[in-house]
Amino acid sequence: MLRLICYLSFLVISITTVYSDQEKSIYDVLKAHGLPIGLLPKGVKEFKIDETGRFEVHLDQACNAKFESELHYDMNVTGSLSYGQIGALSGISSQELFLWFPVKGIRVDVPSSGLIYFDVGVVFKQFSLSLFEMPRDCVAVRNGEIVALRHRKFIADTVAKV
């Protein structure tokens, strides 16, 4: 009988934990990991995160958001979240002049420095953390623009490998 009560207690606690995790927004998760909530735009449709920190974010549509430079978000963004950084990132690109570079990782070394770094393969782009305090509006990208963007990403990837 005691075993049954312990098992049921464990089950209730487990269900409560899963439920409260599902109630969190991706912005809450970013904040809890020492990252600014504005790394992702407004319009996150749904997200999943597992116990290892691997996450998937789904947007209504591919879109661009303007910061110091422009960021492109695919409909699906994935990565691996740990405190102060996102690794193995895919689905975000950063524009530099006329080329788009895939953002492979994001990190905040020392929050008091006020800086955030984007790994775009060839270099780490440095931005002010204050740019990412709030989620930005994201302007939808038309299909023709997506094809052109992919072509520019291919060129940027080729340049980065040289």
Show me where the domains of the chain are located: 2-161
> Which pLDDT score is estimated for 14?
36
Distances (CA, A) of 143 to 96, 119, 132, 136: 21, 26, 27, 21
pTM of the model: 0.77
Mean model confidence pLDDT for the chain:
82
3's tokens: 């075993």
- Whether the pLDDT of residue 124 is over 80: the answer is yes
Q: What are phi and psi of 109, to 5 degrees?
A: -70, -65
> Which pLDDT score is estimated for 161?
56
Look up the CATH architecture of domain 2-161: Roll (2.30)
SS3 of 63, please?
Answer: strand
- Whether the pLDDT of residue 152 is over 70: the answer is no
